[in-house]
Amino acid sequence: MQGKQLKSDINQSIDVETYLCSQCRHEIPKDALLCSKCNSYQDWRRYISGSQISLALIAAILSITGIVIPEMYRLFHEPISKATISTSSVDGTTLRVTVLNRGDASAVLTKSWMDSEYLAGATVVRLRNDNDALIPPGSKLVIFDIIPLLSELQSYEGSMEMLGYGFSKAEIPKTEVRFELVQSNGDLIIQSVKLNADDLFNLLRANSNRCSAVAEPNFDNGCIGPGELE
């Protein structure tokens, strides 16, 4: 009799609070995370079903989100360009510049000119390809031709003068190529590229060689300089 009472007391002491599985209704411990019968989760993961319907629903939601969010962004965002001159190099009478546009709209390169205390103001800085005037998002290499209004002899003498500047390390007269960029919102910026003694030496020597091959020097081909007549 005492043995039966003791067994009953032990059973009562190890009773575990239970509840029904959310899926199969099997009785499981209250703190169980996984049903021992149907293996379904009992926490927040029970709301995510592995069925094809649930997977299709999730895929549909992701698909709609992928369409709606970009459209909402475009609705409230006005594309704008952020173009600047990044790097430059001079190779003879050829000037190469890299234009970097960090925006999401195109800018326009509207003007380029020489600002110099040494070369004539009439020096031509000409875009080699007119299509390069449009600067889309990203980076773009733009090439210009520099045509000093100097004869073959004047160009040669100028190159020798620049050679002297290079040897003496003296500062040359200010010589810059300036660029005018118009952003997509109408903002205008002007940037410049400075030419050093080596750049001018190579430019003038190349121009001298160019003009030596011209049969009839004139103002149109840029091989007649100040003080010379056609």
pLDDT at 170 over 50: yes
Q: What is the pTM of this model?
A: 0.65
Q: 147 and 62 in one domain?
A: no
Residue 3 in any domain: the answer is no
Residues 71, 134 share a domain: no
Quick one: 65 and 107 in the same domain? no
Q: How many independent structural domains does the chain possess?
A: 2
Least trusted range by pLDDT, from 27-31, 93-97, 139-143, 146-150: 27-31
Rounded to whole angstroms, how far apart are CA atoms 32 and 22?
A: 11
Backbone angles phi, psi at 170, to 5 degrees: -75, 155
Task: Quote the domain boundaries for residue 117.
Answer: 83-212
Please indicate whether residue 9 or residue 33 has the higher confidence score (pLDDT): 33
Is residue 12's pLDDT more than 60? no
Residues 47 and 110 in one domain: no
Distances in Å between the alpha carbon of 151 and those of 147, 174, 200, 227? 11, 21, 15, 10
203 and 112 within one domain:
yes
Residue 204 domain flag? yes
Q: Does 179 lie in the same domain as 128?
A: yes
Assess if residue 222 is contained within a domain: no
> Looking at the domain assignment, is residue 173 inside a domain?
yes
Q: Are residues 60 and 163 in the same domain?
A: no
Q: Return the percentage of the chain with pLDDT > 90, whole number.
A: 54
Q: DSSP class of residue 173? A: P
The pairing of strands 27-29 and 18-20 is antiparallel
| CA torsion angle 216 217 218 219 (round to 10) | 150
